[in-house]
């Protein structure tokens, strides 16, 4: 009888863990990867990508999760079409040949109250993959107040990081146009 | 110093011009067809300053860098070769077409369909034509040099307007180096340009052009205009004619550059893409 109880308890363990893991799909209308770069030493230029898709999992009990994001390189927007065209060409993003920028987490660590954390993962730009760590400054989850049925559960994440574009073979204009890019992600994801 | 080396004008014009001038003078001492190499020396110096000379990962730009070296080796082989040359243009056409298709291969495979393969065929046709048509200029140093200047300048200008600054810079560097080759030719007359000059220049310009169309916003009719340049380079320069007639004949080769500049600026309205 004790063995049977033990077996039942053991069978429940994975399902408990599974239940704690939440799956989210990124809301592309409220998710924008942003970047800033030094322009000729004078100012800091801002740009963003308008099309992002992907999935997030979060296990608040285990303080972990995963991130899998695909950014459409051709959706870059810096507020000036001619410059965007140039950034899409070989030398910069080479977006026709490499249409996707991807980020896949290898380790996600959430703090005790799951309101912030760190994501370690691999960023791939122009076919070059390098490890990049993102700091999640804020995680906020709850029912979407704009949802008429008050059922849609979503989470918002603000994350930041830094990369050197030359690491990813994005070398045109160096060093006049800065090598270091500050990244910031505003992400909203809807629970599946 | 670092600021100077990273200046786009220095990278695209001054450095390749100076490098080609020095290389041309030194290679002239070596004799044979070696001075013809000075144009590609200018190109590689400029490319090295702009983005480095890495060939991996094999992006389209890295493939162009790699194929330029291959074209130099082919040019040397063609200059060494003493046998019949009847089928050489055909072989060069096939090689040029294959090189263009290799550059575009990832996009052709991904997009598939008739328009995509049509684009690949057009690119192959353009590269093959430039390579095959320019092959005969190896024995005509001045027209070959002016062809290199016109083709590289036309490719560079149209690529810059076509939102491909890097490709434009690479094209412009060859034009600057061709200018140095022509300048040096005024003091050190040559008998032949050699395939060492025409083969890599024609291939590099062709690949920069098709990359500009597929990977940036260069309108394809620009390539149609540029494809006339090697043909115009065959207009005979008669020794007995007055100097101004000979200069005008050479200027004819540069005419498509003006045509392509007008086409691209009319196609792409608005200011130049900023750095």
Give A16's pLDDT tier (boundaries 50, 70, 90). Answer: very low
Beta strands in chain B (DSSP E): none
Whether B271 shows a pLDDT value over 70: the answer reads no
Q: Which residues pair with A54 in a beta bridge?
A: A69
Specify the pLDDT at position A14: 47
Inspect the interface and report whether the beta carbons of B164 and A90 lie closer than 8 Å: yes
Within a domain: B273? no
Is pLDDT above 70 for A18?
no
The upper half-sphere exposure of residue B218, i.e. CA atoms within 13 Å in the direction of its Cβ, equals 35
- Domain count across chain B: 1
Contact in structure between B30 and B38 (CB atoms under 8 Å) = no
CATH topology of domain A22-191: Lipocalin (2.40.128)
Bridge partners (DSSP) listed for residue A38: A44
pLDDT digits (tens, 9 = 90+) for B206-262: 999 999 999 998 999 999 999 999 999 998 877 767 777 878 888 899 999 999 998
Task: For chain B, give the percent of residues with pLDDT over 70.
Answer: 97
pLDDT for the residue A1: 52
Look up the domain containing B199 and give its range.
2-267
Domain residue spans of chain A: 22-191
**Structural contact between residues B28 and B194, judged by C-beta atoms closer than 8 angstroms:** no
Percent of chain A with pLDDT over 90: 82
Residue B274 belongs to some domain of the structure: no
Asked if B274 and A80 touch (Cβ cutoff 8 Å), the reply is yes
The alpha carbon of residue B91 is apart from the nearest alpha carbon of chain A, in Å, by 28
Question: Does residue B272 fall inside a structural domain?
Answer: no
* Residue range A81-136, pLDDT digits in tens: 989 999 999 999 999 999 999 999 999 999 999 999 999 999 999 999 999 999 99
**CB nearest B275 (choices: A98, A175, A177):** A177
The answer on pLDDT for A7 being more than 70 is no
User: Which residues of chain B are within 8 Å of residue A94 when distances are taken between CB atoms?
Assistant: 59-61, 215
CA distances from B110 to A142, A147, B106 (A): 41, 39, 6
> Which residues on chain A are in Cβ contact (under 8 Å) with B12?
none
Alpha-carbon separation of residue A84 from A48, A125, A143 (angstroms) = 10, 17, 37
Is B231 inside a domain boundary?
Answer: yes
Query: What band does B106 get if pLDDT is binned at 50, 70 and 90?
Result: very high
Alpha-carbon distance of A12 to B112, in angstroms, equals 50
With CA atoms as reference, the chain B residue closest to A166 would be B51
pLDDT tens-place string over residues A40-70: 999 999 999 999 999 999 999 999 999 999 9
A82·B271 Cβ contact <8 A: yes
In this predicted model, what pLDDT tens digit does every residue of B118-142 receive, in sequence order? 999 999 999 999 999 999 999 999 9
């Amino acid at each position: 009888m004790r063995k049977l109880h033990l077996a039942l308890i053991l069978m429940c363990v994975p399902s408990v863990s599974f239940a704690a893991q939440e799956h989210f799909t990124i809301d592309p209308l409220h998710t924008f990867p942003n970047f800033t770069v030094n322009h000729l030493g004078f100012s800091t230029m801002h740009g963003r990508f308008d099309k992002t898709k992907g999935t997030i999992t979060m296990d608040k009990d285990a303080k972990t999760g995963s991130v899998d994001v695909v950014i459409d390189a051709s959706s870059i927007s810096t507020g000036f079409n001619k410059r965007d065209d140039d950034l899409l060409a070989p030398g910069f993003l080479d977006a026709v040949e490499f249409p996707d920028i991807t980020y896949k987490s290898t380790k996600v660590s959430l703090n005790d109250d799951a309101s912030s954390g760190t994501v370690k993962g691999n960023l791939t730009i122009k076919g070059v993959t390098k490890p990049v760590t993102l700091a999640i400054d804020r995680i906020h989850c709850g029912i979407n107040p704009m949802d008429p049925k008050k059922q849609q559960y979503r989470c918002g994440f603000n994350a930041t990081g830094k990369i050197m574009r030359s690491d990813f073979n994005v070398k045109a204009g160096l060093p006049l146009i800065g090598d270091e890019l500050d990244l910031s992600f505003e992400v909203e994801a809807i629970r599946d | 110093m670092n600021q100077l080396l990273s200046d786009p004008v220095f990278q695209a014009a001054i450095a390749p011009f100076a490098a080609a001038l020095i290389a041309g003078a030194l290679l002239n001492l070596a004799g044979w067809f070696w001075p013809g190499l000075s144009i590609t020396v200018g190109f590689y110096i400029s490319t090295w300053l702009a983005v480095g000379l890495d060939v991996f990962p094999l992006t389209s730009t890295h493939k162009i860098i790699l194929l330029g070296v291959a074209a130099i080796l082919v040019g040397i082989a063609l200059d060494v070769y003493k046998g019949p040359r009847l089928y050489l243009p055909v072989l060069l056409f096939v090689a040029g077409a294959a090189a263009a298709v290799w550059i575009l291969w990832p996009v052709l495979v991904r997009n598939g369909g008739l328009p995509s393969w049509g684009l690949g065929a057009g690119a192959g046709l353009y590269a093959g034509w430039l390579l095959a048509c320019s092959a005969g200029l190896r024995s005509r140093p001045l027209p070959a040099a002016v062809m290199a200047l016109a083709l590289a300048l036309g490719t560079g200008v149209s690529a810059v307007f076509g939102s491909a600054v890097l490709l434009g810079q690479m094209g412009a560097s060859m034009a600057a180096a061709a200018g140095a080759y022509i300048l040096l030719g005024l003091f050190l007359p040559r008998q032949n340009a050699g395939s060492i000059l025409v083969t890599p220049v024609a291939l590099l310009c062709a690949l920069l052009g098709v990359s500009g169309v597929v990977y940036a916003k260069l309108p394809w009719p620009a390539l149609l205009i540029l494809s006339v340049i090697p043909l115009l380079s065959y207009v005979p320069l008669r020794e007995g004619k007055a100097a101004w007639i000979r200069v005008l004949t050479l200027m004819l080769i540069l005419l498509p550059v003006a045509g392509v500049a007008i086409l691209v600026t009319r196609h792409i309205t608005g200011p130049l893409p900023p750095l």
